[in-house]
Amino acid sequence: MAGEVVDGDTIRAWTAEERRRAAKDLRIVADAAWDRPSLCAGWKCRDVLGHLVWLAESTRPRAYRDVALTCRPPGSAIRRIGRRHGEAGVDELLDRLDAAAEGGFFLPGAGPQAALVEVLTHRADITRVTEGPTRSSDERTRLVVNTLRDYWWFYGVPRRVRSARLVADDAGFEVGPSEGPEVRGPGSALMLALAGRRSALVDLHGAVEVFG
């Protein structure tokens, strides 16, 4: 799968489709499973869902206001907002995620691909621990892997991940220099490892030490 440049309108359409898909697929997750710790450290699965809803429903002014009103540093504020939203019923949250699928907000300093990163990564944060429906790797996964690799510093992985050749053997794409040390595995595991989820490393093979 080639690594063509994807335009912003296409990325926004993909994000909307993935929000709707998640809102549909996650309805089979058992009620009790939503209180399990997700792969996102310190977040329950329902908190992660609340975070996705907040992002989908937000505008830039609203997001700034919500963060400011918590009187906390941004990272702590966003966690608190996710927990607050996650207190709603799961069916309500999934309905809201579906209704706000076209929302165009993304975190400042990143392009529209950041919103797609949030949806695919956090969906996997939930489904990995709830036995929810998995999502096959594809060109959208490739874009997310590329974006996470570009923003390695934000996710707390070493810079050397940029020197590795990352091969998604379930989707036929690779990212990174062809001469770099190879890491191979499912695209979803590459995505999660780049997002700092160390539990995903068990599904990868090769030079996994690049992830720290």
Does residue 135 belong to any structural domain of this protein? no
Task: Name the band, by pLDDT with cuts 50, 70 and 90, for residue 5.
Answer: confident
pLDDT tens for 164-181 read 999 999 999 999 999 999
Q: What ranges make up the beta strands (E) of the chain?
A: 165-168, 173-175, 182-185, 205-206
In a 3-state reduction of DSSP, which class is residue 193? helix
In a 3-state reduction of DSSP, which class is residue 175? strand
Average pLDDT value for residue range 114-130: 97
Does residue 42 belong to any structural domain of this protein? yes
Q: What is the mean pLDDT of the chain?
A: 95
* The pair of three-digit structure tokens given for residue 31, joined into one six-digit string: 């009620």
User: Which range marks the domain in which residue 93 is found?
Assistant: 8-130
Given 107, 130, 153, the domain boundary residue is 130
